[in-house]
Structure 1
Amino acid sequence: MSNFMFISATVGKLLPTDYVGFTFFVGCMAMMAASAFFFLSLNQFDKKWRTSVLVSGLITFIAAVHYYYMRDYWATFQESPTFFRYVDWVLTVPLMCLEFYLILKVAGAKTGLLWKMIFYSVIMLVTGYLGEAVFMDQAALWGFISGVAYFAIVYEIWLGSAAKLAAAAGGNVLAAHKILCWFVLVGWAIYPLGYMLGTQGWYTNLIGSGSVDVAYNIADAINKIGFGLVIYSLAVKSTSNAE
């Protein structure tokens, strides 16, 4: 009884009309289900693909845990859980960059590519957090730096060494790489848009301002689960071809 009272006192109630809270809850459950799916499927793949599928499961599991806490934070304070969101991203986005390296190892990808993309992703996220939560009066400057790092990732996977390695690998790897590239270019575009809507800068007069938590939550689930499903499909096809 005491434990129930403690939980009731610390966790806010989600109202039926709280669509933001609903997307936090659905995002949490969807990514937890995806994690279970990826983890339980590991034994069906060749050893060289298991790490990629394992990382996919880790991405969605980390996100699910953070969404569990973000849902409660929203329900209690009715505020966007910016800190928890960025902690989630700073863990999962580098892992998504790792996925590019893992699938391109068959074409001879070096660890230099991995560290380059992780460096860009960390710069993108740290500067984004500084602009959104710390130096809010300089949000445009920090957002610009974050945007430069984002487009560095886009360049690397579309036109840089990662793209060349994917072309050299060909077949299923090239097809998977292209789909992941579209996730980064289109799916990740919601994040800089959300940043601009949630901060004040020269862009405010053009696009306005407001909360984009619903869009963030939906995009997070689609991007992270979608990333994992692309890797899963590649592992299935590659394992079948090897048999």
Structure 2
Amino acid sequence: MTNYMLFPSLVTKMLPTDYVGFTFFVGCMAMLAASAFFFLSLSQFDKKWRTSVLVSGLITFIAAVHYFYMRDYWAAFQESPTFFRYVDWILTVPLMCVEFFLILKVAGAKQGLLTKMIVLSIIMLVTGYIGEAVDRDNAWLWGLVSGIAYFVIVYEIWMGSASKLANAAGGNVLAAHKILCWFVLVGWSIYPLGYMLGTDGWYSGLHGLNLNIDVVYNIADAINKIGFGLVIYNLALQSQKE
């Protein structure tokens, strides 16, 4: 069995045609760079916004660590690192929900909103993992449950209490909230596409697109996690100027 200690040498032998491995490598470097940026910028913000920027850095740092392992797993086995990916998501996606709560605290967001968002995100991820790695024969059913949880999150931030709080806050908070909402609606929607590409169900016709599930996930992760952080960073920066 291949030893993990050999992974660095395997990575150095990555073929130039291995575009999947390339996206893992770029994802790892991009997440590390974003983490350094967010952490090093903390000193310029007051306590009100420092936690939000810190969480942005934690999201990308956690992702970078997991991408390091996922990159090596791919290099060693040429298989999708499903387990590592879902461990990453189970840590980072709830933190992205925390970001909504943190920016809406100025409008009086309560703990209940945070709990609801985190529980929904965990349901979305756990059922997704079961469908993709545990009970693949019923992947469509688990994907449906995961999708329902996702759409409840979308409703909450677009039309539910989170939306009302953002409208009450107005100004930069409302503008940032709307951008984050678009990330969830459009950016997160890439994940169900990856799920359907990697499992069988009524949607199996998508397999003919010849898209690699890991490429889809890697691009989505880079856009969503780094993009989320940059929106929070810009909000904190603009609020400092007021």
Into which bin does the TM-score normalised by the smaller protein fall? Answer: over 0.9
Q: Distance in 1 between matches of 2:15 and 2:71?
A: 12
Give the match for residue 150 of structure 1. 150
2:234 alignment partner in structure 1: 233
- After superposition, residues 158-197 of structure 1 pair within 5 angstroms as 158-197=158-197
Check the 8 A contact 2:7/2:75 in 1, yes or no: no
1:208 maps to which residue?
207
* Aligned residue in 1 for 2:135: 135
Over the residues paired in the alignment, what is the CA RMSD in angstroms?
1.3
Give 5+ residue unaligned stretches, structure 2: none
Given that 2:8 and 2:72 are in contact with CA atoms closer than 8 Å, whether structure 1 keeps it comes out as: no
Question: 2:149 & 2:7 partners in 1: Cα distance?
Answer: 42
Q: Aligned residue for 1:3?
A: none
CA contact (8 A) 2:106 2:169 kept: yes
Q: Shift of residue 8 of structure 1?
A: 5.9
Deviation at 1:153? 0.4
| Offset of residue 208 of structure 1 | 2.7
Instruction: Map 1:1-243 onto structure 2 (within 5 A).
Output: 6-7=5-6, 11-12=10-11, 13-205=13-205, 207-208=206-207, 211-241=212-242
| Contact 2:7-2:76 within 8 A present in 1 as well | no
- Number of residue equivalences: 235
State the Cα distance separating 1:11 from its structure 2 match.
Answer: 3.9
Q: Percent identity?
A: 79
Do the aligned residues in 1 keep the contact of 2:32 with 2:60 (CA within 8 Å)?
yes
Q: CA deviation at 1:10?
A: 7.1
Moved over 6 A (4+): none
Q: Do 2:28 and 2:67's aligned partners in 1 also have CA atoms closer than 8 Å? A: yes
TM-score if structure 2 supplies the norm length? 0.94
Task: Report the Cα distance in structure 2 between the residues aligned to 1:19 and 1:197, rounded to whole angstroms.
Answer: 17
Q: Hey, what's the Cα distance between the residues in 2 that align with 1:84 and 1:8?
A: 15
- Measured in 2, the distance between the counterparts of 1:157 and 1:87 equals 24
Q: What SS does the corresponding residue of 1:186 show, helix, strand or coil? A: helix
Contact kept? 2:120, 2:150, Cα under 8 Å? yes
